[in-house]
């Protein structure tokens, strides 16, 4: 962008890198037809998904995690929509919504993990995060509710160090809410996650498309101007468009990909907006092949 169109940046603001326009295929993504040219595929057999800078950043936010008006406010407001999206996935696949086991990866302070554990349809939630201060907050908050005992367990670990389930076992729902955009090598990370989803189970996540609009709303407005989100929370270069995300699963034993675009409306919270997955925040889910 030349100075003719962007003459001067205010102190502390970041310039937007160039980016391609994302593509969308609607609510159902046929994995056999998805392609991407905007991000090269990356295959790595072994690595750690834990980024020291990310851990340090979220450690600093630990004290505010359960403040509904603090730095995690948007996560609190998004949580009901997370459950709506999961119920939709389970319904469309005919999954019995009883006795469900969850694995919440990158659970943070436990906003989703706690709410999932309170559902009558849930047997148990295992929640993991590598960030010690945030996980300490999660554990302390859960102790305030005796009903969570036996239904929710926290572990300070990464997915690489979590014991892999036996073949044919695993979790009914594995969640990655606001996680994948903090991972350096998302395709290798998702390959590592696959064995934890039981055959016929769902991998569910939320993330952000890599577009000019998402940079404007999440980096410039939310972080730099309004400070709704702490500065440095998001790296625009790690955002993933939905067609790229679908490509990571092609030919690896997955089916029935689903996507739902969501928009934050001040005063109203997060709302589903069809087509908005092309430009900003969206939910994505995919089902592991039944064996």
106 is in an annotated binding site: yes
178 is in an annotated binding site: yes
Q: Which two tokens stand for residue 42?
A: 């990356």
Give, in order, the Cα–Cα distances in Å from 202 to each of 192, 194, 243, 257.
15, 10, 18, 10
Q: Where does residue 170 rank: exposed (0-12), middle (13-18), buried (19+ CB within 10 A)?
A: buried
Measured at the CA of 218, the angle between CA 207 and CA 264, to 5 degrees, comes to 75
168 is in an annotated binding site: no
List the beta bridge partners of residue 65.
Answer: none
Closest of 276, 289, 272 to residue 82, by C-alpha: 272
Q: Find tokens 């998702």 and name the residue.
A: 190
Q: Which two tokens stand for residue 190?
A: 């998702």
177 is in an annotated binding site: yes
Q: Calculate helix-pair angle for 52-60, 132-142, nearest 10 degrees.
A: 50
104 is in an annotated binding site: no
> Where does residue 166 fall: left (phi above 0), alpha (psi -120 to 50 degrees), or beta otherwise?
beta
120 is in an annotated binding site: no
Helices (H) and strands (E) in the chain, counts: 7, 9
CB 203 within 8 A of CB 193: yes
For the annotated binding site, the residues are 82, 106, 129, 177-178, 181-182
For the annotated binding site for Mg(2+), the residues are 178, 181-182
For the annotated binding site for S-adenosyl-L-methionine, the residues are 82, 106, 129, 177
């Amino acid at each position: 962008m030349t100075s003719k169109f962007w003459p001067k940046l205010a102190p502390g603001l970041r310039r937007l890198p160039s980016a391609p326009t994302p593509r969308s295929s609607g609510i159902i993504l046929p994995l056999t037809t998805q392609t991407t040219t905007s991000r090269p595929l990356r295959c790595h057999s072994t690595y750690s998904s834990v980024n020291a800078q990310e851990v340090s950043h979220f450690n600093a936010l630990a004290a505010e995690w359960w403040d509904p008006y603090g730095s995690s406010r948007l996560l609190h407001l998004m949580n009901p929509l997370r459950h709506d999206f999961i119920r939709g996935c389970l319904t469309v696949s005919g999954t019995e919504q009883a006795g469900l086991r969850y694995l919440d990866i990158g659970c943070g302070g436990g906003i989703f993990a706690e709410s999932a554990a309170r559902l009558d349809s849930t047997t148990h939630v295992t929640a993991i995060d590598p960030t010690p201060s945030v996980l300490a907050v999660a554990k302390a908050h859960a102790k305030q509710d005796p009903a969570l005992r036996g239904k929710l367990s926290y572990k300070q670990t990464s997915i690489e160090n979590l014991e892999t389930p036996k073949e044919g076992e695993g979790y009914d729902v594995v969640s990655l809410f606001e996680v994948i955009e903090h991972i350096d090598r998302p395709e290798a990370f998702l390959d590592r996650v696959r064995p934890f989803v039981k055959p016929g189970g769902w991998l569910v996540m939320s993330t952000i498309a890599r577009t000019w609009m998402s940079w404007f709303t999440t980096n410039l407005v939310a972080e730099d101007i309004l400070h709704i989100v702490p500065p440095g929370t998001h790296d625009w270069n790690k955002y993933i468009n939905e067609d790229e995300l679908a490509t990571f699963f092609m030919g690896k034993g997955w089916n029935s990909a689903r996507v739902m675009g969501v928009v934050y409306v001040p005063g109203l919270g997060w709302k589903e907006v069809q087509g908005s997955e092309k430009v900003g925040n969206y939910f994505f889910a995919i089902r592991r092949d039944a064996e």
